[in-house]
Amino acid sequence: MSTHFPIAALAQHPTPFYYYDMELLRRTLALVKEETARYGFEEHYAVKANANPVILKTIAAAGFGADCVSGGEIEAAMEAGFPASRIVYAGVGKSDWEIRLALKCGIACFNVESEAEMQVISEIAGELHTTAPVALRVNPNVDAHTHAKITTGLSENKFGINLSMLEHALQTARQLPGIRLKGLHFHIGSQITELEVFRTLAVKVNALTADLRSRGYAFETLNFGGGLGIDYQHPDTGCIPDFKGYFALFNELIDRTDHPGIHFELGRAIVAQCGSLISKVLYVKEGEVKKFAILDAGMTDLLRPAMYDAFHAIENISSTRPRETYDVVGPVCESSDVFGKDRQVAGAARGDLMAIRSAGAYGEAMASTYNCRPMPKAVFSDSI
Ligand code: LLP
């Protein structure tokens, strides 16, 4: 039986729901604050990873800024108490109303992904008699060695401005009346587990900024995006990612001569391990070649396994029976509605609670109502 879940209290709540270990979240936040303060770095939490209002409030209260990718996220961040002056806004397709909203709120920076977008931001800023602080998102062509659907820093991806087109974009930024060029932004992908990848990025960025400096460009801020991966295989022993190593690496490598502001926007590394999807076993079904544990949670509650073949550890937290092998599946009418194949889980019976681990990032945030299913609820360790 698992010791870290308050099983009797959890059993009082209708399933499925996300359970958040707020003590772990606060410990993680404190460590990130400690490490960023050590080097004078600034952290903007990537709201897309988890925009639950309680989670957002906790992160805002810990003194983080916010990295948003839509008008809705900017509103959610403001609501949760992130100051506009600590909000940055990225995305390849910003709508006019979103740009207007961001300008009216007075956010810290637009991370701009194309010249076409920069023209529109400049025009709207003009209409509002203001200027837009801007960082150009550069696509540095660094292979993140991660899942193809979450890599963003290669020339073939839709994100960022390619290196060969950067100088032209920088000139445009200087000329446009509504734009105030602040910095450069880089984000190469997500769930990056090899720190070497960030080393490659840092070395490339140094070469790039040195080259641009020789041509008269200096930047107030360099933003290295997010992407630090987590240990999905070992959610307990690996519950806090290697923030020390990650920030130390940038501190060691980045030339900060002209750009005092070094920014990060981690999402997954901050919230993934504090969240589990808790679900009830509806049926144990014997197939000809497989045994299925059918849960009341499905891909509508946690899409990652269906969408990316992502691995999440699964535990039967109610059972002390010997382990058996199951395909752990959901009720949704799609063959990809599978949380894990051939998983060794403590013997399951109807009514047992299963915990799908490391689900705090891109879990609740990506839930849907497909099949007219209700959205999953959230339960917090502080309030049970
Ligand atoms: N900054 C930018 C510009 C991003 O696009 C992202 C994530 C982040 C920061 C935060 O990255 P993180 O630290 O969380 O890796 N739904 C996928 C992940 C998509 C990530 C999208 N961008 C998943 O479930 O794995």
Task: List the domains of the chain with CATH numbers.
Answer: 7-17+273-383 (2.40.37.10), 22-272 (3.20.20.10)
State mean pLDDT over 243-269. 93
pLDDT at 148 over 60: yes
pLDDT at 153 over 70: no
Q: How far is the CA of 74 from the centre of ligand 1 (A)?
A: 16
Which numbered atom of ligand 1 lies nearest the CA of 185?
3
Instruction: State whether the beta carbon of 305 lies less than 6 angstroms from ligand 1.
Output: no
pLDDT, tens digit, 9 for 90 and up, residues 295-340: 999 999 999 999 999 999 999 999 999 999 999 999 999 999 999 9
Instruction: State whether the beta carbon of 191 lies less than 6 angstroms from ligand 1.
Output: yes
pTM above 0.75, yes or no: yes
Residues 6+ apart with CB under 8 A from 214: none
pLDDT at residue number 2: 42
Nearest in space to 341 (alpha carbons), one of 353, 325, 356: 325
Mapping DSSP to helix (H, G, I), strand (E, B) and coil, where does residue 14 land? coil
Contact 47, 25 (CB under 8 A): no
State mean pLDDT over 257-283. 95
Mapping DSSP to helix (H, G, I), strand (E, B) and coil, where does residue 320 land? coil
With bands split at pLDDT 50, 70 and 90, how would you rate the model's confidence at 257?
confident
pLDDT at residue number 259: 67
Q: How far is the CA of 238 from the centre of ligand 1 (A)?
A: 20
With bands split at pLDDT 50, 70 and 90, how would you rate the model's confidence at 4?
confident
pLDDT, tens digit, 9 for 90 and up, residues 88-141: 999 999 999 999 999 999 999 999 999 999 999 999 999 999 999 999 999 998
Instruction: State whether the beta carbon of 360 lies less than 6 angstroms from ligand 1.
Output: no
pLDDT at residue number 145: 81
Mean pLDDT of the chain: 95
With bands split at pLDDT 50, 70 and 90, how would you rate the model's confidence at 146?
confident
Instruction: State whether the beta carbon of 265 lies less than 6 angstroms from ligand 1.
Output: yes
State mean pLDDT over 196-225. 95
Residue environment code for 5-30, b if the CB has 16+ CB neighbours within 10 A, otherwise e:
beeeebeeeebbbbbbbeebbbebbe
d(CA 350, CA 293): 9
pLDDT at residue number 237: 93
Nearest protein CA to atom 22 of ligand 1, as residue: 190
State mean pLDDT over 254-271. 92
Nearest in space to 70 (alpha carbons), one of 51, 90, 50: 90
pLDDT at 149 over 90: no
Nearest in space to 141 (alpha carbons), one of 126, 116, 121, 163: 163
Instruction: State whether the beta carbon of 362 lies less than 6 angstroms from ligand 1.
Output: yes
State mean pLDDT over 222-248. 97
pLDDT, tens digit, 9 for 90 and up, residues 64-78: 999 999 999 999 999
pLDDT at residue number 1: 41
With bands split at pLDDT 50, 70 and 90, how would you rate the model's confidence at 41?
very high
